[in-house]
Amino acid sequence: MGPASCEALKSVLMEGRKMKLSVALIMLLLFGVSNQRCSCAIVQFIFGDSLSDVGNNNYLTRSLARAALPWYGIDLGKGLPNGRFTNGRTVADIVGDKLGLPRPPAFLDPSLDEDTILNSGVNYASGGGGILNETSSLFVRPSPPDSVTSSLARRMHADGDLASFGVLLQVQRFSLYKQIELFQGTQELIRRKIGRVAADDFFAQSRYVVAMGSNDFINNYLTRSLARAALPWYGIDLGKGLPNGRFTNGRTVADIVGDKLGLPRPPAFLDPSLDEDTILNSGVNYASGGGGILNETSSLFVRPSPPDSVTSSLARRMHADGDLASFGVLLQVQRFSLYKQIELFQGTQELIRRKIGRVAADDFFAQSRYVVAMGSNDFINNYLLPVYSDSWSYNGDTFIDYLMSTLEGQLKLLHSLGARQLTFFGLGPMGCIPLQRILTSSGGCQESTNKLALGFNKAATELLGNLSNTLPNATFRFGDAYDSFQDLIDRPYMYGFNNSRAPCCSLGRIRPTLTCTPLSTLCEDRSQYVFWDEYHPTDQANELIANEIVTKLGFKPINETNTP
């Protein structure tokens, strides 16, 4: 996609948002904004997102976008969390204060009633909300009806003033259309309270604030496919320069290590062209962006996908033949955990056994090489995010113990399935990836995160050594490139790089963007950057990492007799 196409895409997206906003504002005009005057109190009705939310999301008890934890609200009132996504007041609070208007309570505040509305108005703003209904839909989870504590909302539903009570059960956010739906229900309550004429005057002289739009970019377009490398500019320096599923501009570490060993590059398991002959000639790659050792890792980003979205005929055959325990695993569009990848490997084995016979298949799998490269997401997209229970159920050491006990069971399972020669790639300095750096005030590495990576590597080294010593005919090895990668980050000029802090692919000052997108711009010289996006190294950096692993482990091409 060239610059002209990107500009055209931007224009289309912007026009669509303008149209949606125009319709929403016209609806507000129809439902209450006019030039009528009366003696009623002047109050505010606020529509918005987290920049204006004063507690609606806090009453959505399973919400991942809640400002209910310390230290939110520390500089307002009693210093306790109050639903505002800041340490004190929102912009809407301050503007209202300067106009001498009362601060409207959250719509879902259990104490809200008609008298309060008439005296103070209502705030419908919801963290994560957008102009578009689909914005932030990635993060929506259903919540039980009894989790909604607002008696006003329940009365509105009972009286038929709220078209769909289900709107309250979308635990993440209210879109602008949904907020307007709640406003319509509010109007009906007030009309029954003071009469239609007085109510219409009340709403006509009220003040209306709409502060919304940022999430339509941040939590819609930019994160619609959080774990896909299907957009430009991924793969720009490999083959024809088109996206190929690799989360970098070129090769992965596994690609490069395999190339140096003279092994073919295995295709993705879900590649529609994959069949038994391809597996016998090239193997399979089950790796999945966002996947972790733990099943719960990256679960925040999981959305169900329709069955016909899985294009792999091999996967469908495995399911039809009963070799895949749950076809639903393929419908989790974000990632396969390691256990799920092993499940897919078991199904692959059954296909190959039917193709060439059990004895030949068992020999084939025993002499194959196995690579497991996993663990960073268990920290970045699990333990280090307070929305996951693991983040408060464990400390650093106990979480690593949890990972090791899980990994031990997984590696033993792979051994029982025939894996004899396995390499586990260790973690790099995770605290130095651009995503972690931007979270610090200094822009430096998060040393606490790096400490977790070092602790993980130490424990994994011991685990791999113990398994090699205790499992029959097992050669399980740990590929460690932490120190060399850290030196590359600390002294990029020594290795021919000039930037080890920022991603090559970014949206300028809009960070973090999580993935590289068609709207992103690229650095002038990709070979000079250590990081491709907020998470992943560039092809050039991957080559240095791969070389370190190959050298440390003494790997040689498979046609040499002394190959480990």
State how far the Cα of 426 lies from the Cα of 453, in Å rounded to an integer: 8
DSSP letter for each residue of 440-507: SSS----HHHHHHHHHHHHHHHHHHHHHHHHSTT-EEEEE--HHHHHHHHH-GGGGT-SEEEEESEEB
State how far the Cα of 290 lies from the Cα of 293, in Å rounded to an integer: 10
State how far the Cα of 244 lies from the Cα of 242, in Å rounded to an integer: 6
State how far the Cα of 374 lies from the Cα of 459, in Å rounded to an integer: 14
On the question of a cis peptide bond just before residue 392, with omega within 30 degrees of 0, the verdict is no
Q: What is the CA radius of gyration of the chain?
A: 27
Spatial CA neighbour of 82 closest among 69, 93, 92, 95: 69
Helix (H) or strand (E) holding 216: helix 214-216
State how far the Cα of 307 lies from the Cα of 329, in Å rounded to an integer: 11
First to last CA, the chain: 44
According to DSSP, the β-strands at 421-425 and 44-48 are unpaired
CB 486 within 8 A of CB 433: no
Q: Exposed, middle or buried: residue 479 (CB in 10 Å: 0-12, 13-18, 19+)?
A: buried
Q: Name the residues annotated as catalytic.
A: 206, 533, 536
State how far the Cα of 351 lies from the Cα of 483, in Å rounded to an integer: 41
Collapsing DSSP to helix, strand or coil, 210 comes out as: strand
Structure tokens at 102: 């009362």
- DSSP letter at 166 equals G
Place of tokens 């229970």: 389
CA distances from 365 to 256, 288, 361, 416, 470 (A): 22, 21, 6, 11, 20
- Torsional sign, CA 541, 542, 543, 548: positive
Place of tokens 């959305």: 303
